[in-house]
Each structure stands twice: as structure tokens, then as C-alpha cells.
Structure 1
């Protein structure tokens, strides 16, 4: 960065796959064969054999009937919610949902409510008051991107069944990381397609490539193909990206040590941070926010860390509520315990200054 080498703790490359030789080779080889661009939208002539293979792999990994590729997670959320809901329907979202989900809810035309973060009593109270007519969709982040905590998906699934609602989970920060095989939140919580009918995941975080997908039933995917405008009216991801993603999915099973190592680092970091009395927020995922509060103080701490060779971005309003500015530390399987020790030493130093 500006000629300096920094130790980075703010990327979403949770498994350290973005620079893996197998992903690089897959992208290079496929670009040599198919070229650089996607060429057209999926429904015109942009859907290659690599896209098809990738969708089949994603469906199998997540235990769903089918999967559909989107160019970004933002587009996947926007396309899915607006395809499923309209005027006369109801959408209930966690207050801390990602901006793309909040935007999707507002754009859908459905009656939009936000329940208190991970508060099942508040959600049930709102569900109980809904009129009988119209479709109902409960939408949450599986792992909340700024706090790092997880949604209680099993409880949410039970409420969805009780009140005749669909449940959608944005697994952007869980896919590839959560679950015994890295299949994400559905595997972690043991939720079937019926219990969690709408599953979105991204491919540019745990998998190390780019793009997103929605997985679910045959009816869901056919509905999205016909009505999800961000899918229909945009160029498909390049086939080379799809090929690199397939290589990333292969590594989920070939190199399980990455998930194991990441979990060990998370435990080690939290244990050491507690010993140093660092103000960590409660999280058992790779996202480890350090709550600072004041916006200027968070920016100053980020700058002080950068001077010491550590790159950690400060997150401030409007991304997070006023008074909750933080250093959003993210861990990766590419880190070592020595890297964690280096980060901890720098944090202790700048917080004491």
C-alpha cells in the first residue's frame, strides 16, 4: 500500500483462497479458452458449461434442488426479494441486516417491518399481528457483517413454519466457513430446504472468487429465472470466474484444515484479547469487531495501526449506529498465530497511547 507492505486484517478472504494457485490456474486456463468477458446475459448466450457445472455443484453442496448464479450478492438479494414479494405482501427483517436486504425490502413494495436484532419475541409479536392475506418473508443475515454474531436460524425456522412464512438467509459470511464441510449456515444448523427455503450465498468471501448464488427448490429457481430482474438484465459472470469458483469449491473438501485453522485462530484471538481486556464484541465467527464508540477515535486508531504496519479499517456511521464505531477485524486461514500476536501487540500499544 503506497509502497509499504502491511499485515491485513480487514478482508473477507476467510479461507485464504483468493491467491491459491489452483484458483489462479483455473481462471487463466479458462480465460485462454473462453476469453475474458461473459459476453451476454445468462438467458441470451452468456451461460457457459462452467456456469452450469457451478450451479450444479452449489446445489449439491447446500443440499438444495437447484442453484442460480448472480453477478453479485447485492443483485442476488435485490432480485430474490423483489421477485417473491410485491404490494399486499409482508417482509420482516432484522434491524442489522445488510444494506442490500434492506434496500430489497423497500423496493419490493411489500409492507416492510424491521424487528429488534435477534429478538424472537419481537418478531413473533409482529408476525402475530399480520393480516391473513399476502405472502410473508422473514429475512436475516446468517452472520451479521458488522457485528460477527449469528442469527438463531433454528428458532427463526420454527417461527416461519408456525406463522406460514418463508425464511431467507443471506449466508455471505458463512458459506465456505460454517458447517462441517463448509456448506454454510444450513449445514451448521441442520436446516432442510423446507425449513430454510431461500438460501443466498456469496462466492467472493470464503470461496475466494466472485459472484453469488441463490439455492432452493425447483419452483423458487424457476421463479427467479422469470422474475428476478437483476438476474435477467445483466451480463453473466465470466466463465473464467466460474471455473475459478469450481476450483475453490474443490478445495473445501480437499483442504479442510483451512476451516479448522481459522476456528483455532478465532479462539486464540478471543482468548488473548480477553486477557488484554480489549473491548471485543461477542462473536464466534471470523468477524471480530473491536468496539470503540467515537467515530474520530476509531479513525485515529486505524491510522495508528497502519503506522505500525497493520491494516484494519474503521467502520463508522451510517454503516453502523451512531456511537458504535469500531475496528472491524477479520481473520483468515492465511494468518498465522504469529500474525495474531503481532496484531494484539499493536492493539494494546495504540489503545494505551
Structure 2
């Protein structure tokens, strides 16, 4: 029995469509048709297993090797992470049903914030539902009409949207172009505060922000330096502390935002870490913090355990580093162009959007799960298959993926 129907609620087929809604459907149908015709349609494949190296996908009768998750350390289904989450679920429940300042703060939240600050060698940290929210919460609260924010043109969409929310002067500099950054800093002369904003590692290209050069210019013009470390925290740098460690400049970045949803367990949650006064201010003014439910206890416990694993052993980030070097070397030898620097984001450049999607579909037939990336996720004419390496991949897994790339690349005249 349909309880909604019996209580007077109409079935979906009985909803009356207004003229305005019919017009909306028509407009959207045309736009969707254009996306399909351009070859940039993004199909969601349904995974029916845990996230990991070997996954089950709806419609496939065999396990697939997964090379496109942000699961850099293989912690998404790690036994210690699962155990920590299960124990927290039993002890603390499924969720808080509240925001942090009302009755949504548990000792687990404070423990994780302290551990994040310790991991980054900062004074304090504040949790958000996601790193997207951390970026929205920071700029809107911090940047007033008296201030300026100067952002790399290829920064993540969450940074772009977060900056849109603020009332300050908004300036963009060309990607990793220090000459253009200096021009923008001069343009911001006279502002109360200036903040240079960049991804630490750029997610679509796997390249790294030139932090030493940015720091030099920021100091010259009295600017703060902000980095988003979503694709660096936990596995980049000598001990996984991220981009500033990669450049041997730990502690030189003023504000760091990052995520729990990639290397640190793969669930959800983001954070800001930096000066204690900044964190206190964000607890008072950060809208995504003040108006969103607290992170669920199992997610928080998983984040704590992920940091425990990282801070006790270098095994996982050493393994992902070795896997990255092996894949990049093999693919280059085969004739593929792999963009970016020595980072586990390995974009295999193909150029044409339709080619990227066809290539990815053929890889799936070979048992390799990868995705074609095209506009608007990446610029037009720069379509690619973004391969992501994990500590959980074996050398045999990587060699199998490279063999499939070579076979299909030859079929599609991408390599000889």
C-alpha cells in the first residue's frame, strides 16, 4: 500500500505540470541534448561494493581495477578505519541532529580538531561538513570590502564559489604565473588585507603551486598566503604533510584548508587550520559551520584513526610514491603524455572529449575503471583520462592498467 497516496498525496504521475514547469523541461531538454551531442555527457557508474582497488560495478560481471578514486592511501576500506567507525557508531550514535554551537559538539570533534592542528603543526583547527564548505565559510567571513583576494585562475570550483561570496576586491592571476601575480598584488595596494589563494596541488593537472615564489611575493607585498591541500594532505611531502613540506617550507603558509574525504579515510568533512584567532573567529562567523549539522561520529572517528595511522608509520605514503613513479615511467615509455609532476594524479592527455569517453569505455571492458574528463571539468581541447594511484595498488595492478592503455591506445591511434 502506498501510504502517501492513501493519505491524499498524489502519485508522481498525477502531479499537474504548470505552463512554467513545461517550459523549464523544454529548456533543459535542449541543454541536455547539446551536452550529449558534444560528447561530454557524464554517466554515473554504480558501485555495489566497498571503495577500494577491486570494486564491483552494476552491469559488470567481473571485479574491476579502480584507478580513479581519491583513495590515495587505500584507507577507505582499511580494517582499522572501519573498526573505529563501527565503535563510534555504537558509542556516539549515527549523528548529532544539531549544529556545533547548540548541542552538536562531542569530545570526538574536539579530539579530531586537535589532531589536525598537531598534524599540520598549527595552533588550532575547525571542522566543516566538507572542504567545499570550508572554502565557502572562510572567504565569506574573513574578506570584507576593505580587503582583496588574489586567486589562481585554475583553483578548485569550491575556492571560486567561496570567493564569489565575499565582499572584497576579487582578482585573478594566470595559472602559476608569478609575473601576473605581482601585477595583481600591486593592483590590490591599499587594501586592509591581501590574501593570495591557490590549490597546493591542482586536481585536474597534478601540478604543484610554486609556493616558494608565492611566499616571496606575498612577503614583499604584505599578503597572507592560503592553500587548499585536498590533493596533498596525507601523502604528499616527505611525511605526508602536504605541499609546504614538499618545498621544505613547513609553517610558512598562513591558512590551510583540506579534506577528510580523500586520503584521510575517504568519507566526508573538511577543515581550516591556522592561527588560533582565525579559528575562533570562524566558529563565530563561518556560516557553513554555524548552520550545518556536526560531522557524524563514525566519520569523525575514521578521521582520527586515519591520522593515527599516518603519524605512526611512513609505509603508506612511501608506497603511493613508488606506485606513482612506476606508472608514470611505464606510460611515458609507451608514448603517452602524462601531465603534471610526480604526483599520484596522472592525467593521460587525449585532447578530444569524445575520444576520452570512448577510451574510458574500452578500458572498462578490459576491467580497468577510469573516467574520461572533458569540458566543463577541464578546458575545451584538453580532455583526458585522469588516473589516480593508491598505496593499495600492487605493481601487478599498475602493469595491467598500462597494458590496457597501450592496447586501446594502439586501436584508437593514440600511440604507435
TM-score by length of 2: 0.83
Counterpart Cα distance in 2 of 1:10 and 1:133: 42
Counterpart Cα distance in 1 of 2:405 and 2:134: 37
Q: 8 Å contact 1:210–1:245 — kept in the other structure?
A: no
Structure-2 change in CA distance of 1:19 and 1:255 (3 Å): farther
Q: Quick one: which of 154, 171, 192 aligns to 2:212?
A: 154
The answer to whether 1:127 aligns with 2:185 is yes
Larger RCO, structure (CA 8 Å, separation 6 or more): 1
Q: Which residue of 1 aligns with 2:312?
A: 254
Tell me the C-alpha RMSD between the 2 structures: 1.2
Q: Which residue of 2 aligns with 1:198?
A: 255
Cα deviation, 1:55-91, whole Å, max 9, x if unaligned, reads 1111111010001111101000110111110223211
| Aligned positions of 1:49-60 closer than 5 A | 49-60=107-118
Q: Which residue of 1 aligns with 2:380?
A: 322
Q: Which residue of 1 aligns with 2:140?
A: 82
Q: 8 Å contact 1:70–1:212 — kept in the other structure?
A: yes
Q: Which residue of 2 aligns with 1:35?
A: 93
Unaligned runs of 5+ in 1: none
Based on CA coordinates, which of the two structures has the bigger radius of gyration? Answer: 2
How much has 1:185 moved relative to structure 2? 2.2
Structure-2 change in CA distance of 1:192 and 1:272 (3 Å): closer
Q: Quick one: which of 189, 195, 199 aligns to 1:137?
A: 195
Unaligned runs of 5+ in 2: 1-56, 412-416
Q: 8 Å contact 1:62–1:186 — kept in the other structure?
A: no
Runs of 4+ in 1 over 3 A off after TM superposition: 190-193
Q: Which residue of 2 aligns with 1:103?
A: 161
SS for the counterpart of 2:377 is coil
- Aligned pairs, number: 352
Counterpart Cα distance in 2 of 1:187 and 1:282: 18
Q: Which residue of 2 aligns with 1:9?
A: 67
TM-score by length of 1: 0.97
How much has 1:125 moved relative to structure 2? 1.5
Q: 8 Å contact 1:61–1:183 — kept in the other structure?
A: yes
